Amino acid sequence: EVQLLESGGGLVQPGGSLRVSCAASGFTFSNYAMSWVRQAPGKGLEWVSAISGSGSTTYYADSVKGRFTISRDNSKNTLYLQMHSLRAEDTALYHCAKGGLGLVAAALDFWGQGTLVTVSS
């Protein structure tokens, strides 16, 4: 059974940093691309970033480019999102999502429940 468990969210001041994690199980993690998708309170879905199975290819939304870094540790079956220079508009529930087999561009076929990041003073 596929499981994705996010952690690391919390309250952070504007300009601060935070790293959220996603522990994966139930599939061969290194074979699949992964993404982060966020959802501001009461709002819709916004894709944030994606990474290939090997970690060699990454993509970012313009709204986070230069501030966020996606990475993965395939030996630990864990996906990360390092966030710097956080802004109030980054406040959201951050979901990790499983992507394509061997393809970064593919449907997100399983999502975690998310970890809440709140940026406020």
Partner 1 sequence: DIQMTQSPSSLSASVGDRVTIICQASHDISNYLNWYHQKPGKAPKLLINDASNLETGVPSRFSGYGSGTDFTLTISTLQPEDIGTYYCQQYDNVPWTFGQGTKVEIK
Q: Which residues sit at the interface with partner 1, rule CB under 8 A?
A: 35, 37, 44-47, 50, 59-62, 95, 105-114
Nearer to partner 1 (CB atom), residue 62 or residue 75 = 62
Which residues are bridge partners to 59 per DSSP?
50
Handedness of CA 89, 113, 105, 102 (dihedral sign): positive
In whole angstroms, how close is the CB of 39 to partner 1 at the nearest point?
9
Can you spell out the DSSP letters for 77-92?
TEEEEEE-S--GGG-E
Q: CB 86 → partner 1: shortest distance, Å?
A: 19
What minimum distance in Å lies between the beta carbon of 109 and partner 1?
A: 5
Pair of tokens at residue 32: 């699949």
Nearer to partner 1, 31 or 113 (CB): 113
Q: Which structure tokens are listed for 110? A: 């399983």
